[in-house]
Amino acid sequence: MVSKGWLQGVALVMIFGFAVMGFLAMMTYTDSMPQPKQVIDKQGAVVFTGAEITAGQQIFVQRGLQEFGSIVGHGGYLGPDYTADYLRRSSTFVLDALTASGIQDPHGALVTMMRTNRYEPATGSLIFTDLQISAFEAVKKHYADFFGTPTTQNGLIPKMITDPAEIHELTAFFAWTSWGAAAERPGHNYSYTNNWPAEKLVDNGPTADIIVWSGLSLVSLMVALGALFALYGRWSKRMGWQHGEETPPLSFRQPGDVAVTPAQSATAWFFFVVALMFLAQAFLGAAVEHYRVDLTSFFGIDLAQLLPINLARTWHVQLSLLWTAASFLAAGIFLAPYISGHEPKRQHWLAYILLGALALVVAGSLAGEALSIFGVSAAKDSPFWGMQWEYIDLPKFWQGLLTVGLFLWIAIIYRGIRARLKSEHRFNLPWLFFYSGLAIPAFYAVGMLAGSEVTLSVAEFWRFWVVHLWVEDFLELFTTVMVAYIFVMLGVVHRRIAMQIILLDVILYSAGGILGTMHHLYFSGTPVEHMALGAFFSALEVIPLTFLTVEAWSFLQLGARQQSRSAAPFPHRWSVMFLVAVGFWNFLGAGVFGFLINLPIVSYYEIGTALTANHAHASMMGVYGMMGVGLSLFALRYLIPANRWPDRLAKISFWSLNVGLAWMTFATLLPLGVLQLWHSVNDGYFEARSMNFITGTGNTVLEWLRMPGDLVFIFGGVVPFVWIAWLGVRYRIKGTTQDVPMEALFVETQLVGSTVARGTDAITDVSSGPGYGTGYGSRAGERDGDTRPDGGM
Amino acid sequence: MEQVNPDVWFALGYGSFLLLVAHVLDVLARRTAAATTSARSGGFEYHEGHDAWTCSEDQWLWPISFDPDNRVTRYRAAPTVCNPCPVKDDCTPSHAGREIVRNIDSWPSSEAERFHRGIACSVVVLAVVWPIAVMFQGRTGLELVILSAASALIAGCSWRLWSHLRRAPARFPDHLAALGLEENEQQKAAISATELARRSGYGSIRKTGPRAVPEKEVR
């Protein structure tokens, strides 16, 4: 069906990408910011130990402080970045002391003190000067006051951390990252974090590498774009996108005419759970947003007593991943019978077990996160209740259970399509569906390597395998395969073209996406190679997004084949419109807003600001959220009886979600991000991340301006979707058969006798099919989209 | 001269920026829709004046039929032109000449265009609202004049966008009747009954009834 060149291209990109990633993984372990065994004074007395740094890191992670503020730029946006915060406070303390001592050049002395690397690899000891130790004690007092405050003035629970030992450990962790941010790497004139954060007190400014690799990544983008469009102009006709084939007329099988299997019927419950999680996530997002305009009161209620900002954000972020992923899993289960034409007995039992496991993981992990944040003693270092790094916040046990659940899901899929796989070549569409599905649990499992006790740089490396590689690359791939397959099943895209789109997608996304993972690790204490490769390759991530936009999402060739006389309209209007929205947000949210913060020199000043949140919302909701809703509506269209299908609600939901999201980004996130970036460059990163700036009057107006969009999003977009999902449960068509048409949600018809245009004589016309083979291992001469003998009419 | 707060200039600048973004989205909406239509027609060019197409080799395809139920017109090139054509193998397997269809209702590109224009209009609403919101921050008389003028100017410049949105119908072909399961079953039963009621020319069949056709054969 497709030439071997495509497969070789995929293999080449994958092998190259993961070989380099292996090399970078090795460097992460050997050349990252070292965690000392002990920090000592000049006399050898221990100030704090490596174990205390790790303990402090675990407190930071388990008490949800990464969902409030950030460390090395990664985390929440409301609180300070603790690396920058400690660096500023300790540097100010030392500078004041040096100035008071009357030395000639206090700033020069401060720079020398902070940038001199006194780490001894042989002993694992790091030596602090007396002033650095005094600064440590002073800053420790500040954190004791900050985290021990009896009020909810910071959006955190009262008296959050009062144990002096815990404050000591937490400060030790901040002090260590701050040391790595200023102390120069051996043999280099920049710090372990590539001189991040920008801090004039210690002469932290952009390095030559940051500027050069920013320029080179721009050049790589332009060259690659030029090359792609040149190739596209040369080959696009051959690839078949713009072939405009002569096609036989189609009649789409109408909802109600398409029998559903028991497992497909079971997915109605999945979609209802997905919708409820989406609703909860949206309300939590509104709460998080409200903290930014009024930190101490939610319309008169002291919300932080029950739902502190870090818990609200933890749940908001977790649910965003869980509901979108769950919708993809459910859509996969729904599609499996259409792929094989048959559903094994008791497949629906497995589906219900998976749903139960999902519900258990969601409830268990959210409960664990709450216990962990509230500081319940049972949660401390507990695999069941102790939360972990941002985005993979689930406690270890639930993370493991979710991984097992994902493997169970792919086992369900395999069981469902096993018969079909046996008769297909290993690179045909059913196998691509299986491979892309298998990548989901496989790459999610990598997150297990990023425990809360793992050294920061190493944890960051593996964490972003999940955040970037799993989400941005392999979920993207799986959804592309699903969408392509859906359109093949609907008969509106030829199998060969679908496969070409999928393989091109793999090549383009993976070429930039695999090594592009490193754009998250510019300042995480990893070697400069991570930044160089991350900048260079992640610039290429814009290409597929641009390409697909120029291509106008080639799948949209619907209607061109809708020429049947059987009065059977296309049943998936709003699913397709959600896919149109995915294309739009892919370009704007992932492409434009993503590239806006991708260059190292921009990231250097903006990391952890509202521009990051802008990209996150526009791409996560805009791409995966819209995709999740679109896939849900596709399945629900067959599960809800035709006379109960609420087309108007689907329309309202579509427009409200999109208008609400556009408002969210343009009203608040983008302008606030630009202002914060300007403030960061002009006044300093510490100032731009301070609460004084974030909750300042001007910003508060911006935040309030977002409210209309949020209300439209929630009540016009999410609530109708919940209702549609409820209808899917309430009136779902029961599964009555184990056999369904294989890949045929349409019927090809012959056009007989049509009227000549312009009122002339009637002409009988019989269309001629394209006559494509179905590819490897399929029956010769069979046309794409042929209704199989076992596919009922 | 009164001092004007930088927030006012920012509101002015950002409102103008949003207006620009909205216009860019509007242009992209039109181009994307055109690109989709073009992709669907295999890069062939439609000439409205002639109601005909030209292919990549500059040959004409003329209308041959119109399906009024589905509002689709079909066009075909002369076989005498297509069969000796050097790019025929990449173009059509048919020996009767290359054929192309044109949907009168160009959904989904028409609704995609409407969607993009709808987003452009929601962005421009924000552009108008922005300066108004800044007016509520205790502004001086001069600042109020600047902000209200900016808001009015942006609203005026957005008129075209609303006009475009109004003239960009979704064109979803919902004129086709969607039949539910029961209606389909009733229709099938009626057709079946009609077929059975039709007198066959064979006496043997009239006596014994029609042969039961295996389900697979029906398909």
Q: Report the Cα–Cα distance between both ends of chain A, in Å, rounded.
A: 27
In the predicted model, is pLDDT for residue A771 greater than 70?
no
In the predicted model, is pLDDT for residue A95 greater than 50?
yes
DSSP A386: -
Please tell me whether residue A527 adopts helix, strand or coil conformation: coil
Residues of chain B positioned with their CB less than 8 A from the CB of A757: 51, 63-66, 73
Of A775, A720, A717, A697, the closest CA to residue A743 belongs to: A775
CB contact (8 A) between residue A655 and residue B133: no
**pLDDT (0 to 100) of residue A247:** 54
Span of A24-38, A158-172, A681-695, A696-710 with lowest mean pLDDT: A696-710
In the predicted model, is pLDDT for residue A755 greater than 60?
no
Kindly report, residue by residue over A504-545, the tens digit of the pLDDT: 888 888 888 899 999 999 999 999 999 999 999 988 887 776
**pLDDT (0 to 100) of residue B155:** 92
In the predicted model, is pLDDT for residue A773 greater than 60?
no
In Å, the largest CA–CA distance within chain A is 106
The CA R_g of chain A, rounded to the nearest whole Å, is 28
CB-CB contact of B115 with B32 (8 Å): no
Preferred mutation among A236, A242, A487 to probe B, highest tally of B CBs within 10 A:
A242
Q: Could you give phi then psi for residue B208, rounded to 5 degrees?
A: -100, -10
**A47-55 mean pLDDT:** 97
**A684-699 mean pLDDT:** 87
What is the spatial distance between Cα A720 and Cα B119, in angstroms, rounded to a whole number?
Answer: 20
Beta-carbon contacts of A158 under 8 Å, excluding residues fewer than 6 positions away, are A149, A150, A151, A152, A305
**pLDDT (0 to 100) of residue B183:** 59
Q: What's the number of CA atoms in the CB half-sphere (13 Å) around residue A475? A: 26
Residues of chain A positioned with their CB less than 8 A from the CB of B35: 550-552
Structure tokens at B145: 């004049």
Count of residues in chain A: 793
In the predicted model, is pLDDT for residue A237 greater than 70?
no
Number of other residues whose CB lies within 10 A of the CB of residue A710: 20
In the predicted model, is pLDDT for residue A206 greater than 70?
yes
CB-CB contact of A546 with A481 (8 Å): no
What is the spatial distance between Cα A482 and Cα A489, in angstroms, rounded to a whole number?
Answer: 10
Residue A315's alpha-carbon distances to A155, A392, B33, B169, in angstroms, are: 15, 11, 39, 40
% of chain A beyond a pLDDT of 90? 67
Distance from the Cα of B203 to chain A's closest Cα (Å) equals 31
Beta-carbon contacts of B130 under 8 Å, excluding residues fewer than 6 positions away, are A667, A705, B11, B14, B15, B18, B151
| Among the partner residues A560, A671, A789, nearest to B103 by beta-carbon distance | A560
Top mean-pLDDT range of A565-569, A665-669, B76-80, B112-116: A665-669
pLDDT grade for A746, boundaries at 50, 70 and 90:
confident
Preferred mutation among A260, A577, A656, A739 to probe B, highest tally of B CBs within 10 A:
A577
Structure tokens at A56: 């402090």
What is the spatial distance between Cα B111 and Cα A717, in angstroms, rounded to a whole number?
Answer: 19
**A112-116 mean pLDDT:** 96
Distance from the Cα of B117 to chain A's closest Cα (Å) equals 11
Of A669, A664, A671, A642, the closest CA to residue A718 belongs to: A664
| Among the partner residues A246, A569, A754, nearest to B67 by beta-carbon distance | A754
What is the spatial distance between Cα A648 and Cα B46, in angstroms, rounded to a whole number?
Answer: 34
CB contact (8 A) between residue A559 and residue B107: yes
**A81-99 mean pLDDT:** 97
CB contact (8 A) between residue B181 and residue A641: yes
**pLDDT (0 to 100) of residue A748:** 61
The residue that leads in pLDDT, A771 or B7, is B7
Edge-to-edge strands, sheet with B52-54: B45-47, B52-54, B60-67, B72-76, B99-103
Please tell me whether residue B102 adopts helix, strand or coil conformation: strand
The 10 Å CB-count burial string (b at 16+, else e) for A486-513 is bbbbbbbbbbbbbbbbbbbbbbbbbbbb
Span of A82-91, A191-200, B105-114, B157-166 with lowest mean pLDDT: B105-114
Region label for A159, one of left (φ > 0), alpha (ψ between -120 and 50) or beta (otherwise)? left
Which H or E element spans position A459? helix A456-464
The residue that leads in pLDDT, A222 or B109, is A222
Q: Which amino acid is at A346?
A: R
Kindly report, residue by residue over A264-282, the tens digit of the pLDDT: 999 999 999 999 999 999 9
CB contact (8 A) between residue A789 and residue B216: yes
pLDDT grade for A493, boundaries at 50, 70 and 90:
confident
Preferred mutation among A562, A572, A678 to probe B, highest tally of B CBs within 10 A:
A562
**pLDDT (0 to 100) of residue A731:** 92
In the predicted model, is pLDDT for residue A551 greater than 60?
no
CB contact (8 A) between residue A241 and residue B35: no
Structure tokens at A289: 């947003």
- What residues does B47 pair with on adjacent strands? B52
DSSP A667: I
Q: Report the Cα–Cα distance between both ends of chain B, in Å, rounded.
A: 86
CB-CB contact of A260 with A348 (8 Å): no
What is the spatial distance between Cα A337 and Cα A260, in angstroms, rounded to a whole number?
Answer: 9
| H, E, C per residue of A739-771 | ECCCCCCEEECCCCCEECHHHCCCECCCCCCCC
pLDDT grade for A612, boundaries at 50, 70 and 90:
very high
| Among the partner residues A244, A667, A755, nearest to B68 by beta-carbon distance | A755
pLDDT grade for A4, boundaries at 50, 70 and 90:
confident
Q: Residue ranges of chain B with pLDDT lower than 70?
A: 1-2, 33-43, 67-71, 103-106, 174-189, 191-192, 194-219
Beta-carbon contacts of A354 under 8 Å, excluding residues fewer than 6 positions away, are A329, A333, A405, A408, A409, A412
Got the DSSP string for B25-73? Answer: HHHHHHHHHHHHHHHHTTT-EEETTTTEEE-TTS-EEEEEEEETTTTEE
**pLDDT (0 to 100) of residue A441:** 94
Of A371, A6, A303, the closest CA to residue A156 belongs to: A303
pTM, to two decimals: 0.86
Residues of chain A positioned with their CB less than 8 A from the CB of B72: 562-563
Span of A25-29, A237-241, A660-664, A693-697 with lowest mean pLDDT: A237-241
Span of A658-672, A756-770, B56-70, B201-215 with lowest mean pLDDT: A756-770
**pLDDT (0 to 100) of residue A775:** 31
Structure tokens at A647: 């087309």
Span of A244-253, A365-374, A573-582 with lowest mean pLDDT: A244-253
Structure tokens at B144: 């109020």
**pLDDT (0 to 100) of residue B71:** 63
Q: Which residue of A has its CA nearest to B182?
A: A256
Residues of chain A positioned with their CB less than 8 A from the CB of B131: none
Q: Is A276 exposed, middle or buried (0-12, 13-18, 19+ CB in 10 A)?
A: middle
CB contact (8 A) between residue B105 and residue A558: no
Q: Which residue of A has its CA nearest to B128?
A: A667
What is the spatial distance between Cα A365 and Cα A35, in angstroms, rounded to a whole number?
Answer: 30
Span of A160-164, A195-199, A572-576, A693-697 with lowest mean pLDDT: A693-697
| Among the partner residues B39, B72, B105, nearest to A552 by beta-carbon distance | B39
**pLDDT (0 to 100) of residue A272:** 97
